[in-house]
Amino acid sequence: MGKVWRISGPLVIGEDMKGAQVYEIVEIGSDRLVGEVIGLEEDKAIIQVHEDTQGLRVGEEVKGTGTILTAELGPGLLGSIYDGLQKSLTVLLENNSFIERGAKAFALPRDKKWHFTPTVKVGDAVGEGDIIGTVPETHLVEHRIMVPVGMKGVIKKIAEGDYTVIEPVALLEEDGGGEKEIIMMQKWPVRKPRPYRRRFAASKLLITGMRILDYMFPLALGGKAAIPGGFGTGKTVALQQLARWAQTQINIYVGCGERGNEMADVLHSFRRLKDPKTGRLLQEKEIFIANTSNMPVVAREASIFVGITMAEYFRDMGYDVLLVCDSTSRWAEAMREIGGRLEEIPGEEGFPAYLGSRLASFYERSGLVECLGGPERNGSVTVTGAVSPPGADFSEPVTQNTLRIVDAFFALDTALANKRHFPAINWLTSYSLYVDWVKDWWSAISPQWETTRAIALKLLQQEAELEEIVRLVGPEALPESDKLVLMVTRMIREDFLMQSAYNEVDTYCVPLKAQLMLQTINRFYELAQQMLESGVTTAEIRTSPIIPRISRMKNIPNDEAEERIKELWAEMETSLVPQRGGVA
């Protein structure tokens, strides 16, 4: 097609590029580096290159491919590890521990056979999104093969048996009379949202197993959330925890411009950890994108769109999908770098003026929808993105633009992290707009949820005020009732909100256990208040053997929680009693 005219880092300008389209994929030079046209000017094309351009020369060939950036969709996605362009890193690993420039690898294996079972028969009329058959992709997930968007007609032939993703499994007679083969693999342009029939408001809690989320700042299926925080405050651990335990059917982990060792850690842990509900290996429901910080920056943008496209594809089958992205700030920085090289007029802090709309184009692809096609089904994509604000300063553009888009905001706090209070989600500044939406869901677990939650949050608010006073007058000068508040809020913080990701039992807490735990602390508060009134001091209450038992509730396995915590209640009632002769 054309030739390289200029090379400036990840940006290449091609000449003789007449006929190229914006967003067309091109291959550059003898290594066939993948680039994407992002602008045209007469016969010149501005190309962002997704691979390292070192060693490239002026005059090398630029070949158009006629296609834009697409993702491959079909059986074989689950358990895969991809780079930002959806190249299979496992395939690339077969001959080398290092990634060579220009190395190619399909996302879906072409030689693997999958067992296809039809769900339609010859003569059935089908349209886009209709499920025509299923493949048991893993023990956890049945892959539903759908008629690709844009196709409809009558089934003329349908197969049953073992096929690769590029062999036809059905033949369609189109309305006009033509025939079309359906293979199990579809391709979809990653920047374009996949269609659905209609959208609903989120209403069901997405169980994450993290108490501070499920209980205090719930996430809903189909929701969008951000988790901002300075370095080392726990974004990655939180996202990893979500990807591990969230009770969605498919989880997608996008590592965008972050650490290689972390990726290795995630990958290894998913080969070992089991889904709490089914006991199957977690990687059976997981897809990984590993685009580490030392990889070419341009691919960061692609990685996010590739991830969300795969998420939508599984949503379209009728599944609940969670996508976590660590970190959207690295993506924004990649935009800034390209923008700077294009000499665009920069917005705030050098970010391009379209930062906000680009972020929205990612988050807005979340949602709970009724899928296209039959049988009728709903699916959802929930998105949670990490934000890495420079200097942990939330007033910076990426955090601020994200805040405008998301409905739940889990603010990580450096001071909490430094004190090793994890998850370091600040309970005073975080929020979730889904609280009202999931009320019904929660009341089915426990009618007390709303009140217990409100009491706890109010006490924590009170604690913040009391601490100001303590700083001036010291803890001893407080009235007994305030001392008790501090004792109880400490319990709420340390024995309820704190939750170690590394504790085998506490890493995943079911909603019921969370409810029982907080209810215990509430009841403790009530009983202790009565004791105070009868003349017992907080110093005396503090020595109660009940207190260490409350702090060890975390270590009770989920399935024993109800029985053992209720035992504790019984003991509380008999041992936390007002002084005889005092006011009862």
Ligand X SMILES: Nc1ncnc2c1ncn2[C@@H]1O[C@H](COP(=O)(O)OP(=O)(O)OP(=O)(O)O)[C@@H](O)[C@H]1O
Write down the least CB distance from residue 409 to another protein, Å: 20
CB 413 within 8 A of CB 228: no
Asked if 531 is part of the footprint of another protein (rule: CB under 8 A), the reply reads no
The two three-digit tokens of residue 28, written as one number: 């550059």
231 binds ligand X (CB under 6 A): yes
Contacts of 527 (CB under 8 A, 6+ apart): 572, 573, 576, 577
Could you give the CA distance from residue 216 to residue 464 in angstroms, rounded to a whole number?
17
The CA-atom distances, in angstroms, between 483 and each of 260, 452, 469, 477 are 47, 21, 12, 9
Separation of alpha carbons 17 and 14, rounded Å: 6
Distances (CA, A) of 14 to 17, 207, 348: 6, 50, 30
Confirm or reject binding of residue 236 to Mg ion (CB under 5 A).
Answer: yes
Under the binding rule (CB under 8 A), the answer on residue 533 touching another protein is: no
* Residues 281-300 close enough to bind another protein by CB under 8 A: 290, 292-295, 297
As a whole number of angstroms, the distance between CA 133 and CA 121 comes to 10
Short-list 10, 1, 539, 58, CA closest to 297:
10
Residue 499 interacting with another protein (CB under 8 A): no
Q: Amino acid letter at 541? A: I
We find the least distance from the C-beta atom of residue 473 to another protein, in angstroms, to be 6
Partner whose footprint covers residue 234, from another protein, Mg ion, ligand X, none (CB < 5 to 8 Å by kind)? ligand X
Number of residues that bind another protein (CB under 8 A): 77
Which CB, 236 or 432, lies closer to Mg ion?
Answer: 236
Nearer to another protein, 49 or 225 (CB): 49
* Residue 427 interacting with ligand X (CB under 6 A): no
Minimal distance in Å, beta carbon 293 to another protein?
Answer: 4
- Which residue lies nearer to another protein by CB, 23 or 354? 354
The piece of 147-155, 228-236, 374-382, 555-563 that touches ligand X (CB under 6 A) is 228-236
Q: Quick one: DSSP state of residue 338?
A: H
Residue list 21-80, contact with another protein (CB under 8 A): 52-59
Q: Which residue from 62, 69, 89, 135 is in contact with another protein, where contact means CB under 8 A?
A: 89
Q: Which of 42, 279, 539, 580 binds another protein (CB under 8 A)?
A: 539
Distance (Å, whole) CA 144 – CA 252? 18
Question: What is d(CA 582, CA 584) in angstroms, rounded to the nearest whole number?
Answer: 6
Terminal C-alpha separation, the chain = 90
- Considering only residues 401-430, where is the footprint of another protein by CB under 8 A? 418-420
- Binding partner of residue 53 among another protein, ligand X, Mg ion, none, CB cut-off 5 to 8 Å per kind: another protein
- Which of 187, 259, 439, 493 contacts another protein by CB under 8 A? 259
Binds ligand X (CB under 6 A): choice among 76, 356, 373, 423: 423
261 contact, one of ligand X, Mg ion, another protein, none, CB 5-8 Å limit per kind = another protein
CA distance 525 to 261: 44
Asked if residue 493 binds ligand X (CB under 6 A), the reply is: no
Taking Cα atoms as reference points, which of 65, 111, 59, 105 lies closest to residue 85? 105
Tell me the CA distances in angstroms from 242 to 3, 138, 232, 409, 501, one per residue in order: 46, 21, 17, 15, 11
Shortest separation between residue 98's beta carbon and another protein, angstroms? 4
| By CB under 8 A, residue 470 contacts another protein | yes
**How far is residue 132's CA from residue 197's CA, in Å, rounded to a whole number?**
18
Q: Is 394 in the site for ligand X (CB under 6 A)?
A: no
Q: Which is nearer to another protein, 285 or 330 (CB)?
A: 330
Comparison of 288 and 524: residue with beta carbon closer to ligand X: 288
Q: Which residues of the shown chain bind ligand X in the complex (CB under 6 A)?
A: 229, 231-237, 388, 422-423, 500-502
Q: Which residues of the shown chain bind Mg ion in the complex (CB under 5 A)?
A: 235-236
